Homo-oligomer: A and B are copies of this chain.
Amino acid sequence: MSTLHPIRSLEVYDIRFPTSGDRLGSDAMHPDPDYSMAYVIVRTDGSPELEGYGFTFTIGRGNDLCVAGIRALEHLIVGVPVETFFADMGAFWRRITGDDQLRWLGPDKGVIHLATCALVNAMWDMLARSRGLPLWRVLLDMTPEELVDCVDFRYLSDVLTPDDAVEILRRNQAGRDPRERELARVGYPGYTMAAAWLGFSDEQVRALVREAVAGGWNAFKMKIGADPEADRRRAALIREEIGPDRVLMMDANQRWGVAEACAYMGHLAEFNPLFIEEPTSPDDILGHAAIARAIAPIRVATGEQVPNQVVFKQFFEAGALNFCQYDPCRVGGVNEMLGVLLMAARFGVPVCPHGGGAGLDELAQHLCAFDYIAVSASLEERFLEYVGHLHEHFADPVRVVHGRFQLPERPGFSSELRSEAIAQYRYPDGAQWRR
């Protein structure tokens, strides 16, 4: 019995970083975010004890609801040996998402799904730690059938069956080693969102973009949507700094209705944006499809507020997105990310996860590496979003060199916070908040 590790307890923390003071993260719908995490540590009995770290991301108020959401899931796992879950991570996922009373709060969306994501990712972190491997390597070591078994196909199989998914994974097995060596050598491409938050001044933006070009970045995103003339002025400024060949992306953060989005982007086409992100409500699949048809060749990106794989399925089916930007803290953890990656491959849509926030890059880098090596087999128009702040609070932070994410090497999902960060930013009693 000493080999079994029953889950003993969940420690859950409300962590908030006071980012709003610097307008970091500001956009057309969220002018003053305080980047926050509902953070969970899962511990086991057994010898040696095992630990897993997970979190969801929010932008401040309401983070306590996600903390409570994680606690509401506790009864589904405490006392169960982790070996039971590790032997069938698909069954584990269905258990966590299938509580017959809690599912009324979603299903698979909002606070309870954000909480689910934290807990699911904590268990994947524990699994990877228990094997002494980084998460991306754990995924690569699984057979196509084992990977596909992690995904819930109940509502996906009209567009992607388990057999289709196995076939996608099999056909890419040949080139895996060279792709892995390539990532180990040069890293996974990123784009930077660190230079053009809506609340920054033009001078700030110019200086930051210039610095980023010098640092090796080739792709840049700017926030737009609050003022058309200011957006044109700023787009011209950034184009001037980055030249015609580097990539410029734009992000409206849901500011418009369908007709407004089409009109607004007409006025920005001359700056040759690769895509417009979140031109309208993240719930409006058909609206995104109409915008995509109207503004081509500018393309449409969305996903950071798309709650689950069933909604992504329809974005793919309807041709409503050209870039899939799932958020690694919003969909239901690694299991749903796998479902999204497989559907994206089926529809030939590049995946560019939502990064930044607090710890989003730390998680997404693992899925990006796995996606390239085993699923998409392509880096064409794939980038992981990079925002430069808050990485110092993580035990195994992303390493970005010349605009590329270096392969993580330490065991786990890079999801562990440094204990000093907890002591400093715990809300409302951490040292930073007591001041």
Chain A residues proximal to chain B, CB less than 8 Å: 29-34, 58-62, 64-66, 68-69, 72, 99-114, 153-158, 254, 257-259, 280-287, 290, 305, 307-308, 310-311, 313-314, 317-318
Contacts and interface: CB of A to CB of B under 8 A. Distances in A.
A26 to B, nearest CB: 10
Nearest to A30: B100
B58 A317 contact: no
A155 B111 CA distance: 23
Contacts of A157: 257-259
A65 B112 contact: yes
A308 B287 contact: no
B59 A64 contact: no
Given A111-B105, A284-B314, A286-B314, A33 B100 contact: yes
A429 to B, nearest CB: 18
A290 B318 CA distance: 13
A72 B30 CA distance: 17
A64 B34 CA distance: 25
A256 to B, nearest CB: 8
Given A65-B111, A111-B65, A308-B283, A58 B158 contact: no
A180 B34 CA distance: 51
Contacts of A102: 61-62
Contacts of A34: 101
Contacts of A65: 65, 68-69, 72, 105, 111-112
A112 B109 contact: no
A205 to B, nearest CB: 21
Contacts of A114: 105
14 contacts: A32-B100, A32-B101, A61-B101, A104-B305, A107-B283, A109-B283, A110-B112, A155-B281, A155-B283, A157-B257, A158-B257, A283-B311, A284-B314, A286-B318
A105 B58 contact: yes
Q: Please give the count of copies of this chain that the complex contains.
A: 2
B284 A154 contact: no
Nearest to A254: B107
A153 to B, nearest CB: 8
Contacts of A259: 157-158
Contacts of A108: 283
User: Which of A59, A113, A283 has the largest number of chain B CB atoms within 10 A?
Assistant: A283
A72 B317 CA distance: 37
Contacts of A314: 283-287
A339 B157 CA distance: 33
Contacts of A33: 100-101, 104
Contacts of A308: 283
A64 B68 contact: yes
Contacts of A156: 257
Contacts of A282: 107
Contacts of A112: 62, 65, 110-111
Contact of A72 (B31, B64, B99, B106): B64
Contacts of A64: 68, 72
A92 B56 CA distance: 30
A99 B290 CA distance: 28
Contacts of A158: 257-259, 287, 290
Contacts of A305: 104, 107
A29 B106 contact: no
Nearest to A258: B158
Contacts of A155: 257, 280-281, 283-284, 287
Nearest to A61: B101
A112 B64 CA distance: 12
Nearest to A311: B283
A304 B133 CA distance: 44
A112 B105 CA distance: 9
A164 to B, nearest CB: 14
A318 B314 CA distance: 12
A112 B317 CA distance: 29
A31 B72 CA distance: 19
A104 B360 CA distance: 15
Which of A33, A104, A112, A156 lies at the interface centre, i.e. has the most chain B CB atoms within 10 A of its CB?
A: A104
